[in-house]
Amino acid sequence: MRVRPQTGLEIDGFTLGEMLHKGGFATIWEVTHPDHPGPMVMKVPTILDGDDGPTIVGFEVEQMILPRLTGPHVPRVVASGDFARMPYLVTERLPGASLHGLFDTAPLPVADVVVLGRRMAAMVHALHGQHVIHLDLKPANLMARAGGELVAIDFGLARHDQLPDLLAEEFAIPMGTYPYIAPEQFLRQRDDLRSDIFALGAMLYQLATGRLPFGQPERLRGVRRRLWRDPEPPRALNPEIPAWLQEIILRALEVDPADRTQTAAQMLFDLEHPDQVELTHRARKERRDGLWTVARRRWRMSRLRGFAPPPPLIAAQASRAPVLMAAVDLSPDMESLSERILQAVRDQLAVRPGARVACVNVIRTHRIGIDMATDEAGNHIHIARLVALKAWGAQLGLPEGRVTFTVLDGPDPAAVLIEHAGRIRADHVLMGARAHSATRRYLGSVSSQVVAEAHCSVTIVRIPAAG
C-alpha cells in the first residue's frame, strides 16, 4: 500500500516535520534523521488518482539527474525513495526562499541587475559543464546560499546528455514555464543548452524592466507567437538601461538559437566587461520590429519544422548507443513469458554490450468513458505497474543510465508500442505473444501488428506449446 506524506510519518529513518511548501506537482517537508545532521527537506511528488504521468516521469528524471551533480550551484542530495512505498528526494535545506519575491520588486537598479545576472550566468555555466540543460529556469527555481552563490532547484524537466531523455520518450508536447520557454522548446527540441540562455535573457529583461518579455501566456498558442514576434526593447520601458545591457538581453532572446549568445560563460564575460560588448542594431532599437519584418519571419517559421541541430554539450557521446525496447506483459498468468523475454534481452546484450534497454508496459484503456486510475484495493495502477516493471528490469543488472522504465496507456496497445518505439528510435523490439487461438488468428494480435508496422527489427518470444 502506498504511503502518503504527513507530519510525524517515519520512512527509512526520516521523520517528517512541518510541510514547508505545497505546489502543483510536489510538497516540501522539513525532515530529520539521526544519522544525517543539519537541516534537510524532503520533496514528495503529488500523485493523485488521475493522469499523473508527467509528474511521475518528471520526478524520476530529477531522481536520476540531481544526485549526479555537485558544487555550490545545486542542492546536495542526501537520500531518495522509490515508488514502492513513497517516492521522495531528501536534500540539504537552503536558507530563505526562492528569488520569486525579489523579481516581484523589479525593476531593480541597473547595478543590481548586472550583479544578479552574473550570478545567474555563473550558475548556468556550472550546470552546462556537468552535461545538464535545466530547461525550466525561472525565479521560483532559483535560491541563494549564504555566500551569494545561486542554486538551481527542480530538475524535473532537465536533460542530461549522457542519460536517456525520459520526457522526450514519453510525451510529445512542449514542456516548460510559458513566460520563460524558448522557441525551440515549443518545437519540442530539448537538447540545446541555448534554451537556458533564452531563459536567462527573459529573467534579465524582467529584472531590468519589471515586465516579462512575452507576457504571461496561459496557453501554447500564446507561446507560439515568440517564433516570430520580438519583445519591446528594454530601453523603451526603462531609459536608464544602458545600450550594452540591452544588447546582452536582446541577443539572449533571439528566436534562432544560432543568433543568441552561445554559452553562459560568454554571457558572464559580457556582464563583467560591458566595455567590450559589441553593440549591434539590437542596442539601438527603440521599438519592436515592424509588421513587414514580423510577417517575413512568420512566413519563414511556418515553413520551418525546427532549428539547426545544436552543437553537442561538453563531452557528449560521439555516437548513439543502440536501443533495445522490451515490451513486457506483467499479468500474473504471463510470468513464464516475461521470464523468456528477460532471457531474450540478456542474449541481445551479450552481442550488443553497449546497448540501452527501454522496458515498457502498456495499460489498455477504454475507447469511450472514464478510465479508473486505481484498482479495487485503492492502489494507483500506473505506479503499481511501474514498480513491477522496475523489479523485472532490475534482474538485468544494468547501471542506471542504461535502462529506463516506462508505463504507457492507450486503447490500442500495438499502436502505442509502435509509436513509442519510433519516438525513442528503438533499434530492436522484443516482446511476447500469447498462445494461439481462433480469435487471435482472425482478429489479429498485438505482436503481429507490431511486426507489420514497426520501423525496426522485432523479436517475438513465445512459450513452446505442450507436446
| Predicted pLDDT of residue 352 | 86
> CA-CA distance, 212 to 454, in Å (whole number)?
45
Least confident of 259-263, 300-304, 339-343: 300-304
**pLDDT, tens digit, for every residue of 139-148?**
999 999 998 9
Does one domain contain both 154 and 35? no
* Closest among 58, 35, 51 to 43, alpha carbons compared: 58
Tell me what pLDDT residue 166 has.
86
CATH number, residue 418: 3.40.50.620
Q: Is the pLDDT of residue 316 over 50?
A: no
Question: Taking 80 as the threshold, does the pLDDT of residue 308 lie above it?
Answer: no
Contact 189, 257 (CB under 8 A): no
Residue 202, judged by CB atoms within 10 A of its CB (0-12, 13-18, 19+), counts as: buried
**Would the pLDDT of 12 be above 90?**
yes
Q: How many other CB atoms are there within 10 angstroms of residue 435's CB atom?
A: 10
Give residue 175's pLDDT band: very low, low, confident or very high (50, 70, 90).
confident
Residue 371: pLDDT over 60: no
Residues 274 and 252 in one domain: yes
Q: What is the residue-wise DSSP string for 200-211?
A: HHHHHHHHHHSS
Q: Are residues 76 and 154 in the same domain?
A: no
The answer to whether residue 2 is domain-embedded is no
pTM of the model: 0.80
Is there a single domain that holds both residue 293 and residue 228? yes
Average pLDDT over residues 431-452: 69
Angle at 229 between CA 256 and CA 134, to 5 degrees: 50
Give the residue with greater pLDDT, 113 vs 436: 113
| Whether residue 356 is found in the same domain as residue 446 | yes
Predicted local distance difference test score (pLDDT) of residue 440: 46
In 3-state terms the chain splits into helix, strand, coil percentages (rounded to 5) of 40, 20, 45
- Summarize the confidence of residues 235-247 as an average pLDDT: 96
Do 348 and 452 reside in the same domain of the chain?
Answer: yes
Residue type, 399: P
Do residues 292 and 364 both lie within one domain?
Answer: no
CATH number at residue 67: 3.30.200.20
Q: What is the C-alpha separation between 298 and 255, in angstroms, rounded?
A: 11
3-state secondary structure 124-168: HHHHHCCCEECCCCCHHHEEECCCCCEEECCCCCCEECCCCCHHH
Question: Residue 310: helix, strand or coil by DSSP?
Answer: coil
CA dihedral 437, 443, 444, 449 (to 10 degrees): -160
Looking at residue 320, its pLDDT comes to 55
Identify whether residues 71 and 113 lie together within a single domain: no
- The answer to whether residue 317 scores a pLDDT higher than 50 is no
Listed in sequence order, the residues at least 6 apart from 288 whose beta carbon sits closer than 8 Å to its beta carbon are: 229, 230, 231, 232, 233
Select from 38, 60, 92 the last residue of a domain. Answer: 92
454 and 378, same domain (yes or no) = yes
Most confident of 84-88, 122-126, 353-357, 417-421: 122-126
Answer yes or no: is 467 within a domain. Answer: no
Note the pLDDT tens digit of each residue in 177-225: 999 999 999 988 898 999 999 999 999 999 999 999 999 998 888 888 8
Instruction: Identify whether residues 247 and 379 lie together within a single domain.
Output: no
Same domain, 82 and 17: yes
Q: Give me the residue label for grid cell 554539450.
A: 313
How high does pLDDT run on average in the chain?
Answer: 87
Q: What is the mean pLDDT of residues 286-290?
A: 89
Give residue 105's identity as a one-letter amino acid code: T
In-domain check, residue 5 = no
Q: Are residues 56 and 182 in the same domain?
A: no
Rounded to whole angstroms, the Cα distance separating 419 from 259 reads 34
Q: Is 29 helix (H, G, I), strand (E, B) or coil?
A: strand
CATH of the domain at 253: 1.10.510.10
Q: Which domain holds residue 406?
A: 323-461
Within a domain: residue 309? no
Cell, residue 293: 519584418
How many structural domains does the chain have?
A: 3
